[in-house]
């Protein structure tokens, strides 16, 4: 059971927009700790996609965007492409656990 809750799966057709939620609590996202998002292709290490809630590292397409409100954060992907079909994880910090926490991961399927 992960501290941050993500839907196990989401799907969308090519060209559509999908969002992946990351729900926490008052000791992590609700305490205004940064939320970061990673994309993990099969058999590879996670790749930083969004940092500090809303920022994209250099090289990440602007089709990917992040937002945060209250105890939740979201990753939005617009103009879905076949190559987006993979796993996504959110990450934050939890003051009760005094440590970094990850979401359980979401598998994105492009229909």
Partner 1 sequence: QVTLRESGPALVKPTQTLTLTCTFSGFSLSTDGMCVNWIRQPPGKALEWLARIDWDDDKYYSTSLKTRLTISKDTSKNQVVLTMTNMDPVDTATYYCARGNGAAAGTDFDYWGQGTLVTVSS
Q: Looking only at Cα atoms, what is the longest distance across the chain?
A: 40
Q: Which residue carries 């590879």 as its tokens? A: 44
Q: List the one residue from 2, 19, 71, 78 that touches partner 1 (CB under 8 A).
A: 2
Which residues ranging from 45 to 84 are in contact with partner 1 (CB under 8 A)? 45-48, 51-52, 57
Spatial separation of the C-alpha atoms in residues 28 and 18, rounded to whole Å: 24
Among 12, 18, 36, 74, binds partner 1 (CB under 8 A): 36
d(CA 43, CA 94): 28
Indicate which single residue of 23, 39, 74, 92 sits in contact with partner 1 (rule: CB under 8 A): 92
Structure tokens at 37: 């998002």
For residue 30, give the 3-state DSSP assignment.
Answer: helix
Query: Quick one: 4 or 80, whose CB is closer to partner 1?
Result: 4
Which residue number, 38 or 80, has a Cβ lying nearer to partner 1? Answer: 38
In degrees rounded to 5, what are phi and psi of residue 82?
-55, -35
Q: How far is the CB of 14 from partner 1 (least distance, A)?
A: 27
Binding residues for partner 1, per CB under 8 A?
Answer: 2, 33-34, 36, 38, 44-48, 51-52, 57, 89, 91-93, 97-105
């Amino acid at each position: 059971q992960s501290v941050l809750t993500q839907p196990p799966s989401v799907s969308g057709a090519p060209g559509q927009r999908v969002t992946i939620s990351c729900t926490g609590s008052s000791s992590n996202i609700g305490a205004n700790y940064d939320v970061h998002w990673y994309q993990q292709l099969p058999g590879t290490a996670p790749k930083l996609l969004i940092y500090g809630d809303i920022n994209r590292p250099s090289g990440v397409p602007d089709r990917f965007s992040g937002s945060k409100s209250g105890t939740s954060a979201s990753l939005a992907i617009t103009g879905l492409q076949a190559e987006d079909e993979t796993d996504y994880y959110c990450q934050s910090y939890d003051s009760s656990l005094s440590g970094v926490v990850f979401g359980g991961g979401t598998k994105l399927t492009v229909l």
